[in-house]
Amino acid sequence: MQTRKLGRSGLEVSALGLGCMGISQSYGQPMEKGDAIQFLRDAHEAGITFFDTAEAYGPFTNEEVLGDALRPIRNQVVIATKFGIHIDKDGGKGGVDSRPSHIRAVAEASLKRLRTDHIDILYQHRIDPAVPIEDVAGTVKELIAEGKILHFGMSEAGEESIRRAHAVQPVAVLQSEYSLWWREPEQTILPLLEELGIGFVPFSPLGRGFLTGTINGSTEFDSTDFRNTIPRFAPEARAANQAVIDIIAGIAAEKEATIPQIALAWLLARKPWIVPIPGTTKLHRVKENIRAAEVDLLPDDMTQIDQALAGISIHGERYAAKQTAWVNR
């Protein structure tokens, strides 16, 4: 497995990581714990060294599974988790909370669930408008000084928030959505990250599964699948967005690759400090995704893809209206 360094942080990880949320929530029924543990260990054996989780996934159960699965190989992997989502006593999630006391409490609880003495990357899951970002960065800076956290990350943060946080504690990594059908980060975020030396970890690099080419207008999702609530996954939007898949499929045929491999290779070709974290619960998909690092997209290939997609409008918003308030502050 090829490796990459996340910006100037010096943190080296596998060229593709593994987004672990789907093990516990959002994409149908959660995996059985024993199956999940074996899957995570198999993913590492296949070449993955970078695992992404959060206290909110489950909530809590995702970190617990990773803790059990990765403890025997803890010194061989990089684990990223997150704070900043308000979780009720009954496990309900809603709103944000990045008060310094809450950050500390979450970090301590995550350390226990992950069965480790340090967290490689601690992300602020979403910006909290009620807490100055300087206070957030300062709290993480203290945790880094204590050795409990190694690197500070942010997720779905806007340019101003990143700059202000970075001035207090260098931001090592930004995690935000980025893919062939969501390219907003190219406008201001990618130039900013390059300027500041911050690594970029795109989540949903396969468009929540759409860019695998296995979803169409007639696909039916499990009743618990959150894609049922996303406008971009309404049946009519999926049917209209098939034009994107048709373009990628043509490139894939030329390169003797699969559709998801082209979508991931495109991200890898954008910048050397980009590390996508496609999520899956299937080992054969992990192995397929890993091979995307071997697909060589030349500048002419990238131009061809960009020109072809320029004439296509993506149908449907990426989040329901009530969810958009959480992003890009």
What does the block give as tokens for 153?
A: 């990350």
95 and 130 Cβ atoms separated by less than 8 Å: no
DSSP 18-64: EE-GGGTSSSSSPPPHHHHHHHHHHHHHHT--EEE--TTTTTTHHHH
Cis peptide before 59 (omega within 30 of 0): yes
What are 173's two structure tokens? 């990594």
Asked whether the beta carbons of 53 and 17 are under 8 A apart, the reply is: no
171: nearest Cα among 184, 182, 158: 158
Tokens at residue 283, please?
């080992």
Among residues 57, 123, 178, 319, the one annotated as catalytic is: 57
Task: Give CA–CA dist 237/239, Å, rounded.
Answer: 5
Instruction: Judge whether 110 and 63 are in contact, CB under 8 Å.
Output: yes
Query: Which residue has tokens 């226990």?
Result: 112
Burial label for 297, CB within 10 Å (0-12, 13-18, 19+), is: buried
319 is catalytic: no
Which residues are tagged catalytic?
Answer: 57
